[in-house]
């Protein structure tokens, strides 16, 4: 077998959350391009249908499952519907998550816990449910968590998001130990990536500052993250588990400049 064949996913089924736009949609398209069928979960059905059309145009199958991962019943339904439709799950991508930059003094305890639940607890629950299904249906599997450089590079105004992503990265390593050798679990620590979420805070001046602070001299594209996901979830990474892959342009600190609580910039 040629080495590049290890990046193929023919016959595999991938469940992806937050799949309607941005990173999740790019991962779905990448997986379809190498032969995988995809189960698309997100809140907005119209977005999911647009991604599904792209997937089907590549010759792969797509199942649209409108899903709010914060609703326990909807979250549990996602892997169940994947099994009903395709009879197997090979890959789970926990991509849904996020929380905007916000000073600690303006972040309520409820919001802090909510950020943790959105970014960590939902990934825990989907992994807990999906890993046994992978082993039962396919004999093995791969789980990928979309984490962030904010999870290990502290900066002002990222206490809620950064703490949650730091926990997600540690959860990745914990699950990798527990699920080995049958199910591999890895994460990607993304940097500033051009998505609708980032665009809500970007101005030309902010973007230029962020580019200047990034060693690779540009912001990330969703395809950059998708290529990392393709590697970690494909047979090419069959000896990789518990790893946090940085896809962030070489950042050693966050490139979004935010004010400290009592004066100065972070």
- From residue 216, how far is each of 32, 87, 149 by CA, in Å? 28, 42, 15
Rounded Cα–Cα distance for residues 150 and 209 (Å): 17
Rounded Cα–Cα distance for residues 205 and 220 (Å): 17
Rounded Cα–Cα distance for residues 169 and 146 (Å): 9
Non-local (6+) Cβ contacts of 247 within 8 A are 188, 189, 190, 191, 220, 224, 225, 228
239 is catalytic: no
**SS3 readout for 124-141:** HHHHHHHHHHHHHHHCCE
- The pairing of beta strand 91-94 with beta strand 62-66: unpaired
Q: Which two tokens stand for residue 114?
A: 């909510």
Three-state DSSP state, 66 = strand
Q: Which two tokens stand for residue 115?
A: 């950020």
Which of 161, 172, 184, 224 is catalytic? The answer is: 161
Q: Which two tokens stand for residue 258?
A: 């935010």
- Is residue 198 a contact partner of residue 98, using CB atoms and an 8 Å limit? no
**Does a cis peptide bond (omega within 30 degrees of 0) precede residue 136?**
no
Rounded Cα–Cα distance for residues 102 and 62 (Å): 37
Three-state DSSP state, 263 = coil
Catalytically active residues, by annotation: 161
């Amino acid at each position: 077998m040629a080495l590049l064949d290890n990046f193929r996913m023919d016959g595999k089924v991938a469940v992806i959350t937050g799949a309607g736009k941005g990173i999740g949609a790019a991962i779905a398209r990448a997986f379809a391009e190498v032969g995988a069928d995809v189960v698309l979960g997100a809140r907005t059905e119209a977005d999911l249908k647009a991604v599904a059309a792209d997937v089907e145009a590549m010759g792969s199958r797509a199942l649209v499952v409108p899903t709010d991962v914060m609703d326990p019943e909807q979250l549990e339904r996602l892997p169940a519907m994947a099994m009903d439709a395709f009879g197997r799950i090979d890959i789970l991508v926990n991509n849904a998550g996020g929380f905007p930059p916000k000073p600690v003094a303006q972040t309520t305890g409820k919001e802090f816990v909510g950020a943790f639940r959105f970014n960590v607890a939902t990934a825990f629950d989907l992994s807990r449910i999906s890993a046994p299904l992978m082993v039962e249906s396919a004999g093995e599997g791969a789980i990928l968590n979309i984490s962030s450089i904010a999870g290990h590079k502290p900066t002002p105004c990222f206490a809620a998001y950064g703490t949650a992503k730091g926990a997600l990265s540690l959860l990745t390593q914990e699950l990798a130990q527990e699920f080995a050798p049958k199910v591999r679990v890895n994460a990607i620590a993304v940097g500033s990536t051009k998505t609708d979420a980032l665009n809500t805070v970007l101005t030309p001046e902010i973007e230029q500052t962020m580019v200047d602070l990034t060693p690779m001299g540009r912001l990330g594209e969703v395809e950059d993250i998708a290529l990392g996901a393709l590697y970690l979830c494909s047979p090419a990474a069959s000896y990789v588990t518990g790893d946090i892959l940085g896809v962030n342009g070489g950042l050693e600190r966050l490139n979004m400049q935010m004010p400290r609580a009592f004066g100065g910039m972070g």
